[in-house]
Amino acid sequence: MSRLTLAIFILILTTIVGVAVFLSTTDIPAPSSPVERILSDDRFPL
């Protein structure tokens, strides 16, 4: 039972470290599509 627990713990730890390395080294581009919204004048009172 303790070997199974140790194996699961090592697997989870390896997965977490792998995901952290992947996210820190991958260049994820920001969305580049323009956003155009029509805002009514009621939202900006003078």
**Inside any domain, residue 20:** yes
Tell me: pLDDT of 46 over 70: no
Q: How many CA atoms lie within 13 A of 30 on its CB side?
A: 2
Q: What is the pLDDT of residue 30?
A: 85
**Inside any domain, residue 43:** no
Tell me: pLDDT of 42 over 80: no
Q: What is the pLDDT of residue 23?
A: 93
What are 4-39's pLDDT values in tens digits?
999 999 999 999 999 999 999 999 888 888 888 888
Cut 0.85: pTM above it? no
Helix (H) or strand (E) holding 13: helix 2-25
Going by pLDDT thresholds of 50, 70 and 90, the confidence category of residue 45 is confident
Number of domains in the chain: 1
Which range marks the domain in which residue 6 is found? Answer: 1-26
**Inside any domain, residue 41:** no
